[in-house]
Amino acid sequence: MMKLSFLAILVMAVMSCNNTSKTTVRVHVEGGQDGVEPQLQTQDSTYAMALDSTNSVLFSLADNFVPGYASVRLGRLQIPVYVEPGKSFDLNVKFEGRRVEPSFSGEGAKKNEYLNSSALRYFPDFKLNETEFLAALNEQVKKLQENLDTLGFDASFNQVEKKRLTYAVYGMLPMYPTYHAYYAQDSEYKPGEAFYNKLAAVFPEDEAAMSLQEYQGAIVTVVYMLSSRDQNFSSAWENTENQLNYVIQNFKSPLVVEYLVDNIASSYVGRYGVEYLAEITPIYNDKVKDAAKKAEFDALCAKWARIAKGQPSPTFTYLDINGKEVSLSDLAGKYVYIDNWATWCGPCRGELPALKELEEKYSKKNIYFVSISCDQDKAAWEKMVKEDKLGGIQLHNGGDNAFMDAYMITGIPRFILLDREGKIIDANMTRPSNPKTAEFFDTLEGL
C-alpha cells in the first residue's frame, strides 16, 4: 500500500507539473499596420508570428524564459513590456492616425501599464544652462523614483526599475552639448568640468545593467564623449582606435568590454568598411567571445570586402532625366563620382552647390559626375532637376534599391568613387564640400 501511495503521489506531481499553465502574451492590433508580423523580444528569445484573421497573435513563452524587460515590435513601433512567469497579459494596440494607444489586461497588466504611462515620457529643456540642466535631471530622477515607491510593486522590481529610470533620464545627458547649442542658439558652448564629472559618475561600469537598453544605448556615447574630450582627430579611424584603447584601459568587466568593443568595431566597419580590419581584428578577437556576435561581425566584414578598394563595383541600369537608360558599363573609360541622394534630404541638398563647383572645375577632365536619386516621388525629382538645372548625369533608381543595398547605404548623401575600369577606389568617398575631395581628384592618374 505504501508503494502504491508513493507512486500515486509521484504521478500526481508529474501531472501537476505538466498542467502548469504557460505564460502567454496576446497581442491584438486595431487599425493600420497591414501585413506586419508582430515580434516579442525578451532578454533571451525572439518570438515572431503573423496576425491571424482577428488581427491577433498569441505568444507562448518558453518554460524557462528569463523574466524582465522585453518589447513588442510592430514594424518600426516598439512597445516596452515586462514579462514574468505565470503572469500572462493581453496587449491591445490601437492605431488612430499617427497616434498609438496601447492598453493591457490580465495578471501582468499593472507593470506594463506603468511602463507605458505618460508619466515616464520626459524631454528636458535643453535651453537651460549647464548647472540648471544637471539640476533638472537630478530632480526628474528623484520624482520618478518617489512615484515608483507609491505603486505597490515588489521590492525586486523596484530595485531594478529605479536603476533603469536613472539611466533613462541621464541618457539625455550625452545629447546636451549638441542640443543646447541648437536650442539656445549658443554655437560657442563647450561642456565644462561639471558636465564630464556627472557623465562619468552616472554611467559607471555596471555589469548588472547590461540587460537594460537604457544603459546599453548610452554607455557607447559616454565612452565616445569621455575618450574624445579635448581631442582633435584627423580621421574616423583615429577616433575609433582611441575609443577602443579607452575601453581597454578603463573597463574591467569582460561583459561590458565585449559589448563596447563589438559595438564600436561594428559601427566603424558598418560605416567605413574594412580598410583597417587588420588593426581591428586582434582587439576584436581578444575581447569578443560571444559566437553570435562574432558571426555577425564576420558577415558584416564579408559584405564590405565585396566593395573594398580594387573590387569591381556593383552595377546599375537606371533612367536619366530624359528617360534614357544609363548603365555603369556605359561609363567605362572615365572615373565616376556617384552621389546617392534624394530631394527630401536636407544634407543632400546642402551638398549641391559644392557638387556643382566640382562639376564645373572638372568639366573637361576624364570624370563623370553621376547623381542617383532614391526619391519615391519621381515627379518631385524631375521638377527639382529641371528647375534647379542640376548638372552631371541625373538618374532615378525607380524604386530599385539593389545598388544602394550592395553598398550598404543606410544614410544619404553617400558618395562613391570608381576608377576608369569600374573598380572601387572609395565606397565611402568624401563629400563635395570637403576640400579633400578636390585634392584627391588632382592625384588621380590620367584625370
pLDDT tens digits, 360-380: 999 999 999 999 999 999 999
Of 100, 116, 132, which marks where a domain is finished? 116
User: Considering the domain boundaries, does residue 74 fall inside one?
Assistant: yes
Is pLDDT of 10 > 90? no
Lowest pLDDT segment from 27-41, 78-92, 170-184:
27-41
User: Considering the domain boundaries, does residue 210 fall inside one?
Assistant: no
Lowest pLDDT segment from 32-46, 121-135, 224-238, 306-320:
32-46
pLDDT > 70 fraction of the chain, expressed in percent and rounded: 95
Count of domains observed in the chain: 2
User: Considering the domain boundaries, does residue 245 fall inside one?
Assistant: no
Is pLDDT of 16 > 70? no
Q: What is the reported pLDDT for 13?
A: 43
Distance in angstroms (rounded) separating the CA atoms of residues 238 and 1: 79
Instruction: List, edge to edge, every strand of the sheet that includes 68-74.
Output: 46-48, 39-41, 68-74, 77-83
Q: Other CB atoms closer than 10 Å to residue 208's CB: what's the count?
A: 11
Is pLDDT of 12 > 60? no
Q: How far apart are the first and last CA of the chain?
A: 100
Domain of residue 369, residue span: 317-441
Of 116, 140, 156, which marks where a domain is finished? 116
User: Considering the domain boundaries, does residue 85 fall inside one?
Assistant: yes
Distance in angstroms (rounded) separating the CA atoms of residues 438 and 447: 12
CATH number of the domain at 388, please: 3.40.30.10
CATH number of the domain at 87, please: 2.60.40.180
pLDDT > 90 fraction of the chain, expressed in percent and rounded: 85
User: Considering the domain boundaries, does residue 429 fall inside one?
Assistant: yes
Give me the mean pLDDT over the 22-47 stretch. Answer: 88
The pTM score is: 0.77
User: Considering the domain boundaries, does residue 195 fall inside one?
Assistant: no
Distance in angstroms (rounded) separating the CA atoms of residues 83 and 69: 7
Q: Is 195 helix (H, G, I), strand (E, B) or coil?
A: helix
Taking alpha carbons only, the member of 51, 60, 58 closest to residue 30 is: 51
Is pLDDT of 3 > 50? no
Give me the mean pLDDT over the 80-93 stretch. Answer: 96
User: Considering the domain boundaries, does residue 206 fall inside one?
Assistant: no
Q: Looking at beta carbons, which pairs linking 76-84 to residues 24 or more positions away fall under 8 Å?
A: 77/33, 79/116, 80/112, 80/115, 80/116, 81/25, 81/40, 81/112, 81/115, 82/108, 82/111, 82/112, 82/115, 82/157, 83/23, 83/25, 83/42, 83/108, 84/23, 84/108, 84/111
User: Considering the domain boundaries, does residue 40 fall inside one?
Assistant: yes
Is pLDDT of 11 > 80? no
Of 93, 116, 139, which marks where a domain is finished? 116
